[in-house]
Every structure is written in structure tokens, then in C-alpha cells.
A = this chain, B = another copy of it.
Amino acid sequence: MARRRGGGNRPVRMKDVAKDLNVSVVTVSKVLRKHPDISPATRKRVLKRIKELDYQPNWIARSLVTRRTYIIGLVVPDLMHSFFAEIAKAIAQKVRPKGYIVVIANSDEDPKSERQEIELLLARRVDGMIVASAQPPGQTGIFKRIRGREMPFVLIDRLFPTLDVSYVGVSDEAIGEMATEHLIERGCQWIAHIRGHQITTGIGRLKGYRSALERHALKVPDRYVVKGGYGDTTGYDTMKKLLRVKPRPDGVVCYNDPVAAGAIKAIVEAGLDIPSDIAVIGAGNVRYSDLLRIPLSTVDQSSGLIGEQSAELLLELIESKRRPCPQKILLSPKLIVRDSSKRDGF
């Protein structure tokens, strides 16, 4: 009994292509998959008919059989941060030629919401995932769950050292060190640090900040290190607090560029000059960083490269039969000096 829902003209199926050609569905399927079975003559006939009917293979049906969705999940903490937007773009560009599409999930820096997003992607049976995680350092449960499902995945930006998984990012310690080192060279003595939350990147950069100070035998009390968030508003608020610390800081290493942008606003509003009173440096080399009130010195994390490399790694994990060993790729940060730190050294 023909059972046909909805009145509309349904999409063309292989069956339709095969019918007037007097070939079987399998023949059409084989043509599409470039199976060597088919003779050039038949292939040509089939291809012609496919074009005539504007046939497009049904990915869903195909997925059901092959167990491949050709969907890649990307989980980021904040798509509006151009750092992640650029990564997303690079990933999509990299995987597109191979037929993959990218689903982007936002966690809003919330560990729980991130876990939900990941669960959803698991349920959707994506072929692999790339995750910039907002989980606190110890919390690796969700990653173990991903691995339990035998789902290929690559972590980016935020490293979980105890976990043996593929990773692409820059060394956060190097970032913190490079930024701090730069301010020291520029003659800053009382260098403050607006740090991120308890996630790995925040800790790494703090560590780098400390080790740079130590190497130069600079003693800076703990009150110069304050917790900020990830955005400009928190950067603004935190900087205001820092301005009351005595002696006043003459340099600030910010967790990232948005925070730095907020900090700059606070400093300018206080009537102070950047960089002569206070030098500022951020991280991430966010778009517009050089268009800010005071062009912002920053440490570049080469987001495009992170996207590309992670996509490459993931594709390898997905497409190779024998799962390759997890690989950790550490890219090196790059110092970009703009006005916000351009002051004479000693």
C-alpha cells in the first residue's frame, strides 16, 4: 500500500533515477560512490539522468547505513569573542572540502551548559568534536565520557594536562611570561595582573607572569593579582579596583584583550596616561585591538592556525582506521607591540 504523507512533490530518490533507465538502484548508488563496477557508458547515462532530475543523495539515509554524519561539533565558550569566531571560521574552511559541516555550540563559559551541549552533540552522533572547554581544571568527566563513546575529539586553547587527548593551542605560560617580560623591559616595576577564572588558561598565564617577575627578581605583592572575568565590563571594574592599590601599578598584564580594553577605559577615565603612567598588554590579538582607544599591545595566539591544525588533527582521527595516538601541538605565541606599552625602558 503506497503510503505518502503531505501533498508536496517529494525530493527525487535513487529509485526515480533508476526507473526509466532500466538499471537497479544499486547501480546508481555505485555511480555516485565511484565504484569501479560500472561501465563508462552506464555511468554516463546515470549521471545524465541525475542532472536532469536534479537528484541529490539523501545524507540521512546514507548516514544511517555508513554510521557517518559528516558533521563536526565545535564547542566554544563565547562565539562573540573574535578569537573563537576566527577559529570557527578556520575549521569550517578546512573541513568543507571533505564534505563536513560544522555545528557550533556556545557554552557561555558555563561548565554545566557545556556538558549539555556536548551531550547533545553525542546524541546527534557527530563524527568528531573540537572543544574549547570551560570545565574547571579537575573536571575531566565529560571528556572521559566522550572517549567512552569512542568519539574522536580534539581540545583547543585550554589544556587539561592530566588528560591524554589531542590538543592544539599556545602555551599559556609562555603567553603570561612574554607579556610580563615585555612590560619589565619597558621599565615597569609594579606590574599588576588581571587574571582569568579558575580555568587552565588563567592559571597558566598567572604562572608565566610569576616566573617572569621572579627571573627579574621583582617582588610584587599578591594584591597586584586580581581576578577578572573574560569581558570588557569585568576588565573595567577590576581595573578600577587596581587603581586604588598603593603604590599604583605602572603596568598591567591582562588575561585577554577584551579585559584589557575594559582596563584601558578605566585608566583613561581616571585621567591617567597610557602608557606613560600605566602600560597595558592583553592577549589574543582580537580584531580591532589596534583600533582601540589606545592601540593595544597584545600576545597573538594565532587563532586561525589553531583552527586549521585542530581540524586537521580531528580529520585524521576520524578518517584513519587505526586511531592515531593523541597528539599535543603547542604553537608559540607572538608579541605584538602597539601604543599601550610603548614607553621608554629604564
Please encode chain A, from 99 to 115, with 1 for each CB lying within 8 Å of some chain B CB and 0 for all others: 00111111000000000
- Copies of chain A in the complex: 2
Query: In the complex the two chains form, what is the Cα distance from A63 to B58 in whole Å?
Result: 11
A67 contacts across to B, CB distance below 8 A: 5
A8 at the interface (CB under 8 A from B): yes
A85 at the interface (CB under 8 A from B): yes
Size range of the chain A interface in the assembly? 35 or more
- In contact, A104 and B92 (Cβ under 8 angstroms): yes
Query: In the complex the two chains form, what is the Cα distance from A92 to B88 in whole Å?
Result: 15
Query: In the complex the two chains form, what is the Cα distance from A328 to B57 in whole Å?
Result: 33
- In contact, B80 and A80 (Cβ under 8 angstroms): no
- Given contacts A102-B104, A264-B291, A86 and B82 within 8 Å (CB-CB): no
- Given contacts A103-B103, A104-B104, A60 and B60 within 8 Å (CB-CB): yes
- Given contacts A80-B82, A262-B291, A92 and B64 within 8 Å (CB-CB): no
A69 at the interface (CB under 8 A from B): yes
A294 contacts across to B, CB distance below 8 A: 293
> Residue A103 contacts which of B79, B101, B291 (CB distance < 8 angstroms)?
B101
Query: In the complex the two chains form, what is the Cα distance from A128 to B301 in whole Å?
Result: 36
A89 at the interface (CB under 8 A from B): yes
Q: Across the two chains, which residue of chain B brings its CB closest to A123?
A: B56
A336 at the interface (CB under 8 A from B): no
A63 contacts across to B, CB distance below 8 A: 60
A265 at the interface (CB under 8 A from B): yes
Give chain A interface residues in 259-297, CB to chain B under 8 Å. 261-262, 264-265, 286-288, 290-295
- In contact, A8 and B291 (Cβ under 8 angstroms): no
Q: Across the two chains, which residue of chain B brings its CB closest to A293?
A: B293
Q: Across the two chains, which residue of chain B brings its CB closest to A92?
A: B106
Chain A residues within 8 Å of B, Cβ to Cβ: 5, 8-9, 11, 56-61, 63-64, 67, 69, 71, 79-80, 82, 85-86, 88-89, 92-93, 101-106, 120-125, 149-150, 232, 258, 261-262, 264-265, 286-288, 290-295
Q: Can you list 25 A-B contacts with CB-CB less than 8 angstroms, sorted by A residue number?
A: A57-B123, A58-B125, A59-B123, A60-B60, A60-B63, A60-B125, A71-B103, A79-B85, A80-B82, A80-B85, A80-B89, A80-B287, A82-B82, A92-B106, A101-B120, A101-B121, A101-B124, A103-B103, A232-B288, A264-B291, A265-B290, A286-B288, A292-B292, A293-B293, A293-B295
What are the nearest 4 A-B pairs in CB distance? A261-B291, A56-B123, A80-B85, A60-B63
